Chains A and B, each alone.
Chain A
């Protein structure tokens, strides 16, 4: 074993980084894209493109009118108001005469048009980067699920690599300003790229992986929760507005079509109710922008109206859990606004707020995206550096074969993950809308979890995930059969072509082409198209450099694997 502390930390950094770096790259890449998951969700639903939204007050009135028309005798209405800035989708839920949950997903422009495209959209990237698209059946950690354990372990390894990376870099400030682009040794250039990106975005990477792990740490090793559950006091409710992870989960659920509610109160006698618009104005004055409201027993003397504030506000890092409840018949306040979460929940909410970047507006999300991209490239550079450093020095045939395999794995991991993500975006655009789940994806397609169903029974949301995994499989096969240097260039070129083509395929589906979107001032769709296009151009440059003669001559000798003799 290495003798000095620095050498031992370097060993840990190198091997944890390599073995888990292949997965860490994919997790970091999808996590970075997930920063804009609302925008991608919007981009993937053509019905919403370019629609002129109603004001919050008009949306509220429209929702109430709609529900009074379709479900006047319902025992509960729940409305998730559109996020006008990021994802303008209006979701109405109500209980029918059998207390079964019904819903409508509408364009919030007052036209009554339904959103029928059921897609995993940007949510896929959120779920992939912590579950690999396997549904987590139980967020209390009582059921073991290897996928989130694996992603948790990768996250842990990444956290350790960020710490050990700091220890091994004694000359951290010098490294920060060192990028020897013209260095003859390819290893030096990859090392500098890895160091510069690592040092530059170190605080972000440490923060993002720490907060991500902290948010669901009780799932990974649930003994603390299990011990706590032995004590008699009731656990904190895992509902929207309850604070902590339950609140986050509630946000996800309510973004789609809501969950089957409990605690249904028996209806009272018919009685006139205070106009919900009046209560809405009061709640808005107290809590600011509202995200949802629930009416129990509308039109009865025991009606209650609960308004939920936005769980994340642009002006606060922490998730908020504010709500306000009124007596629907008298208009009296039953439960005033005000955050009642305690210290531990506050800490968890701040950690969640930091990780999910709902604060600070678009500028903050762009910063997160750039730092995430820097981290992703840093991981990729670290993986490439591993082989660049060792392959040329490999003495035995077995060592050369090992580094050859590592190089192929690098291509399958880095190129493959990017190819899969780009293919997924194409699938979002091109898969027919008619394949959408007619039930609105309530049970199957909302949570981006992969399930094994025959192709003829697969719905749109299934096919989107199949496209992602199939593309990754193809890229991995390609990496195994092609010479690594050619495979790098070809996979980068393929990803570049897919990204550059994103604005073009908008013309193949209705209401998604770039020209119309610019005219309609739907900047979310325009931004996704143009950012994809720009990334495609950068990847095309990278692919061209990898293939060009100049780079081959300059670098080829250093990175090319020594030819194996027939005896090897």
Chain B
């Protein structure tokens, strides 16, 4: 009986941790990816796409909208949170490099 109660408690704790992790990954992790995706998109469309800065700024806003929505849904759909955090971190790093590279 005591073991079962302990198991239930442990399972509750891990469930809470999982929910917090998933929510943080979706909302905050997704935000970071989106934040740098906008900067990278603006830079790429100006330098490679030949758009004017004003157009690139507006277009990057649209890109960010799609990226954020897709990130939140993908994070919540993913089976493994470890892989999810890893992908978020790697993609953010990649986008930071694109955005800040001279």
Contacts and interface: CB of A to CB of B under 8 A. Distances in A.
Interface of A: 1, 5, 8-9, 11-12, 156, 159-160, 163-164, 210, 213-214, 217-218, 220-229, 231, 233, 235-236, 244, 342-345, 347-348
**Residue of B19, B34, B57 ringed by the most chain A CB atoms within 10 A:** B57
A220 B67 CA distance: 13
B62 A347 contact: yes
Contacts of A342: 52, 55
Interface string B31-68: 10011101101110010000111111111111111001
A231 B53 contact: yes
B68 A218 contact: no
Contacts of A210: 65
B77 interface: yes
Given A5-B77, A163-B69, A225 B61 contact: yes
Given A8-B77, A221-B31, A227 B39 contact: yes
B90 interface: no
A224 B65 contact: no
Given A1-B22, A11-B76, A12-B76, A225 B69 contact: no
B15 A214 contact: no
A348 B58 CA distance: 8
Contacts of B64: 217, 220-221, 223-224
A526 B2 CA distance: 71
B76 A227 contact: no
Contact of B65 (A217, A225, A343): A217
Contacts of B26: 12
A210 B61 CA distance: 12
Nearest to B44: A227
Contacts of A347: 62
Contacts of B52: 233, 236, 342
A155 to B, nearest CB: 10
18 contacts: A1-B15, A9-B73, A9-B76, A12-B72, A156-B69, A217-B65, A218-B58, A223-B38, A225-B38, A225-B42, A225-B57, A227-B38, A227-B42, A228-B46, A228-B54, A228-B57, A233-B52, A344-B51
A285 to B, nearest CB: 32
A454 B96 CA distance: 48
Contacts of A12: 26, 72-73, 76
A218 B57 contact: yes
Contacts of A228: 42, 46, 53-54, 56-57, 60
Nearest to A213: B65
Given A163-B69, A164-B73, A217-B65, A225 B60 contact: yes
A171 B67 CA distance: 28
DSSP majority for the A interface? helix
A164 B77 CA distance: 10
Given A221-B38, A228-B53, 8 more contacts: A12-B26, A223-B35, A223-B60, A225-B58, A227-B57, A228-B56, A235-B57, A236-B52
A351 B59 CA distance: 13
B2 to A, nearest CB: 20
B102 to A, nearest CB: 12
**Residue of B38, B54, B65, B69 ringed by the most chain A CB atoms within 10 A:** B54
Contacts of A244: 54, 58
Contacts of B19: 1
Contacts of A160: 69, 72-73
Q: Name the 9 nearest CB pairs between A and B, nearest first.
A: A224-B60, A224-B38, A228-B57, A218-B61, A236-B54, A217-B61, A225-B57, A344-B55, A227-B42
A224 B49 CA distance: 15
B41 A224 contact: yes
A344 B38 CA distance: 15
A179 B66 CA distance: 34
Contacts of A9: 73, 76-77
Given A160-B69, A164-B73, A213-B65, A224 B42 contact: yes
A160 B71 CA distance: 10
B5 to A, nearest CB: 14
A160 B15 CA distance: 23
A527 to B, nearest CB: 35
Contacts of A344: 51, 55, 58-59
Contacts of A8: 76-77
B88 interface: no
B24 interface: no
A231 B51 CA distance: 11
B18 interface: yes
Nearest to A236: B54
Contacts of B46: 228, 231
Nearest to A217: B61
Contacts of A11: 76
A218 B53 CA distance: 13
B99 to A, nearest CB: 7
A235 B55 CA distance: 8
Given A218-B61, A344-B59, A345-B55, A224 B72 contact: no
Contact of A221 (B22, B35, B76): B35
Nearest to A347: B62
B32 to A, nearest CB: 10
A298 to B, nearest CB: 33
